[in-house]
Structure 1
């Protein structure tokens, strides 16, 4: 009986350790998220490089955003999305029982947010007019935020898959929230490119 109890306890311990290991993101997931964060930042910085004030503030029409306004919106979102869907989500207890609520794959999340086919009006707190600093200062803020987020993804052992947030299209887990945030940068970098492709965009 004593030997049986010892074996049982060992199995329970091993099982508990295995369950704990499953709550951590994989090496591949960590690498993919970090790459996505870096790539989307680098792409945006490449687009912004060398633009004059006239180019940064050009609008194709009254209802469109300028390149500078896209940047301001991206930076507001970088801070808010992280606060609400990462920091805020991680403040609650992990809940594996809710996994079935997450219906979309990582790839689908990235596809939805990157796509420019369906235009969506942003919520008032995310409007570019809420950030009045100079473009140079906004770039500095964005780079600082993104560096913090990359650092987090490099080091975290948090259970990102069993914390959740809710978006208009459904429930996502915290790992997907990081992908969503990076994809959001890609979405509006593409919007910058659309502005710059306008026939009336100022020449250098």
Structure 2
């Protein structure tokens, strides 16, 4: 895996865990309003996105090489002024999660991602193949990796807002 992408994945995940590890289980599951996700649900969504990304990349690796692929500015996904509706496959459960459970789920999905990526003999192929992303459109497989940490950054901003709404002391 590209070292820069790996560094971004690690830093963003560490930032996410720092935001949630200070919460009580009740705070983690508190919803700011009836139409919003709790912080637990946001984290569960991030786990589901990471797991779906592994599946998308695995599927994309089986496709033909796409030479004329347009690179996208995946960083735009961080902009929360643009509402993105989560596809059903990555909608979080309504379950009550503990902080410990969420951190374990996040760790598990990251281990699955890195284990999968370590099976790819020639990572340069990731820039030559693509799969359609539900929010961004046709996306190079290496950019699917980038969208993981940009997507997490998007939701870290949302988590900070929710913490302020539910009055979490820093």
Task: Pick the TM interval, shorter chain.
Answer: 0.7 to 0.9
Partner Cα distance (1:202, 1:190) in 2:
15
Partner Cα distance (2:130, 2:61) in 1:
8
Matched, 1:175 2:142: yes
Matched, 1:101 2:69: yes
Q: Segments of 4+ in structure 1 off by > 4 A? A: 130-135, 151-156
1:164: which partner in 2?
Answer: 130
Partner Cα distance (1:113, 1:138) in 2:
23
Match of 1:63 among 14, 26, 35: 35
Larger radius of gyration: 1
Partner Cα distance (2:163, 2:110) in 1:
24
Partner Cα distance (1:131, 1:54) in 2:
12
Match of 2:151 among 171, 175, 184: 184
Distance 1:179 1:47, change over 3 A: same
Question: Alignment length, in residue pairs?
Answer: 167
Over aligned residues, Cα RMSD in angstroms? 2.4
What TM-score does the superposition give when structure 1 sets the normalisation length?
A: 0.72
Deviation at 1:100, TM superposition (A): 2.3
Deviation at 1:131, TM superposition (A): 6.4
- Where in structure 2 are there 5+ consecutive unaligned residues? none
